[in-house]
Structure 1
């Protein structure tokens, strides 16, 4: 018994605890991505199960590479694909997944030939250093909005929420608890704050235990292989698919790499193998009827213990995700009143912001502009690929205007030109 207690309090035990907390926080994303897909006609239970299974598999693969990074569904991309392409532009789900399969095959080719690695390895230092600040700010804003501590405003960008709202009150309480316990030197501050917030929310009656909290996976035949039905839609949708494909290709590469780099996990490692894992995961996702996967921002909860023991962290995260796979009713209950999840996400964002090291004084105008563009756009759009693309274009353009084109590599010039062409092509077709 004493040995178990000592292990639980050790650094390896801390990595396991961090993995379980990460999986719990990812439950909201699993539920939301299934609900977004359901709005476009997909079968939500099957999407939820596939997302959880692929997230567990991808997290284990990244853990074998000694990366304390969880793989999860890209919620913002899923919302964009379903709302814009399926609901607004009339693509069928079969056509959408056929598009994703084709783009994922190109992404795999780029990852396995080294083209994707060459793209990301030439990204300037200013963008790399600004990524943690951009991702951390995005997580803080997203958490505050999910906890209704910030609300959309018709006059201003955002406004403060009503703290008489139980969700806003309990979310704020959880944030204060975690930060307070951490300031007092409590090693398990996140876990303690999470448990206390959960207990208070349950006592106050904001959560109930569903009568059937677990169920066997069902409806997979209604999701797997939907790309085979691409020919059942309108042929005019081909123009939309052609317009979106280049942007999706860039998104699959930059979203994963940007989040991975922002998390500061083994950033000196060669990116080829992680990019291959992400590309294969996205190909499996498209074949199984899922939207793209990316590095989960909740991985910021890994902490020092998770980064020191990445395989233990990955194993516990995957175990938590597999448990959630059969616990969709419980996950939906948590997502309906996320007072326990919001504080963890906000605090993880604050951890990333605190670790940001920007060599601001050493940057020139082009580098400062690129960093500012990234830090502003990512939190406002929740789109890592868009932020990286705009920052790249701004960097290249200002370097050329300042007669310092020799500082810009050919790959960076090609990436900037490719991004500009995508924008004009999309604008022309849409």
Structure 2
């Protein structure tokens, strides 16, 4: 079913890859409820909804697309939901905002059933694809450094070196050293075993504790938040949430598309410009977005942390299936998951190393051609600096056709790129992002 031999992998490697991906992204089941709580959504509701959406999207990705890519509610999209959609509009409740997410999800499903999203992947120039992969790598490495306070905010230069003697930074650096040694020794599952060793060090040094126990039953205190599709569309029309729906769709399309291209490139799964089984893969996040909204979570996207599982050897949907099963189990181990994912130093080394591996794509960019190189450079630079994959892609999409026009090569640009250059310019200039 998963074509393990064809993809030059085995069950053990896929399971370890799935476990690695799970531990690098499981923080979302804690962070997402905390952010959406600022919009008034009960923590328990979002915790369970986050797991439901993640399991549905990731299972679809694994079983129907056979890719080692996990789906979960997106960071950034949840903040936009809580602070821009609900926080800035007194007349919009979180129930109404979830209606907008649901409508966006339904439109998203329709788009995914058409050739549109597949054509979009094929339309993205090779140099931009390599730039997206490298930009995501730099972004997730930056996340690992920032979460562990190795890099901190600086009043003058925006970022600076943190206190390397602090418990979090020191533990992350030890974990990084251990994981690098394991990788140099070519130990299978080095990223995963690095996290295990780092976790043990954290436990014995008192940084990791399990004060709230290990097990609790998941609950949905408010039941279904979007039970009537017709009422959801009515809410969007009544409150004029067209710009909100458009923003959700645009950001999610490119967050997911960019991440899938980056991870697939890293895993060697792209066939030239083609993304095999693209429609099945692209349906995963759209279906998960619609169903997740019904239970109470913001839009889903492909997770950049999937690249850690690919780095651990994951090549098929068995990796995704493993991630989905672990998320199902995590629903009953809320306190345990909260404790482990709450200590970023355990997972940060994997993010930093994977970031370095993904940066390898930078060598494939045609740096001697400015009209090809500069848009890719802008993508790479802006992803970590804006903390947004879609913003990086937007800037690349805007500058690429402009430079081609100036150079007289406008015919080389796919018509879809012109369309999205205009849409992205409109979004960056006039909509919240």
Same fold? TM cut 0.5:
yes
* C-alpha distance in structure 1 between counterparts of 2:298 and 2:13, whole Å: 32
* C-alpha distance in structure 1 between counterparts of 2:80 and 2:310, whole Å: 31
Partner residue in 1 for 2:326? 320
Q: Which range is displaced more, 29-38 or 71-80? A: 71-80
Q: Flag structure 2 segments of 5+ consecutive residues without an equivalent.
A: 1-8
Q: How many residues align?
A: 415
Partner residue in 1 for 2:18? 19
Question: Residue deviations 1:248-301, cap 9 Å, x none?
Answer: 211121111100111124223142221122211111112221111111111112
Deviation at 1:210, TM superposition (A): 3.3
Q: How does 1:307-386 map to 2 (within 5 A)?
A: 307-308=314-315, 310-354=316-360, 356-361=362-367, 364-386=369-391
Q: How does 1:183-198 map to 2 (within 5 A)?
A: 183-198=184-199
Gap change, CA 1:258 and 1:231, over 3 Å in 2: closer
Gap change, CA 1:79 and 1:237, over 3 Å in 2: farther
Q: Flag structure 1 segments of 5+ consecutive residues without an equivalent.
A: 1-9
For the aligned residues, what is the CA RMSD? 2.5
8 Å CA contact 1:226–1:289 kept in 2: the answer is no
8 Å CA contact 1:68–1:306 kept in 2: the answer is no
1:392 is aligned to 2:394: no
1:178 is aligned to 2:183: no
8 Å CA contact 2:68–2:320 kept in 1: the answer is yes
8 Å CA contact 1:227–1:287 kept in 2: the answer is no
8 Å CA contact 2:145–2:352 kept in 1: the answer is yes
1:169 is aligned to 2:170: yes
Gap change, CA 1:366 and 1:226, over 3 Å in 2: farther
* C-alpha distance in structure 2 between counterparts of 1:422 and 1:144, whole Å: 30
* C-alpha distance in structure 2 between counterparts of 1:355 and 1:93, whole Å: 40
* C-alpha distance in structure 2 between counterparts of 1:88 and 1:373, whole Å: 30
Question: Residue deviations 1:2-26, cap 9 Å, x none?
Answer: xxxxxxxx84202101111211222
3-state SS, counterpart of residue 210 of structure 2:
coil
Q: Which range is displaced more, 250-259 or 416-425? A: 416-425
Alignment TM-score, normalising by the size of structure 2: 0.89
* C-alpha distance in structure 1 between counterparts of 2:31 and 2:56, whole Å: 20
8 Å CA contact 2:62–2:317 kept in 1: the answer is yes
Alignment TM-score, normalising by the size of structure 1: 0.89
Partner residue in 1 for 2:49? 50
1:257 is aligned to 2:257: yes
Q: Which range is displaced more, 256-265 or 341-350? A: 341-350
3-state SS, counterpart of residue 360 of structure 1:
coil
Deviation at 1:186, TM superposition (A): 2.4
8 Å CA contact 2:71–2:284 kept in 1: the answer is no
* C-alpha distance in structure 2 between counterparts of 1:412 and 1:355, whole Å: 22
Deviation at 1:336, TM superposition (A): 2.9
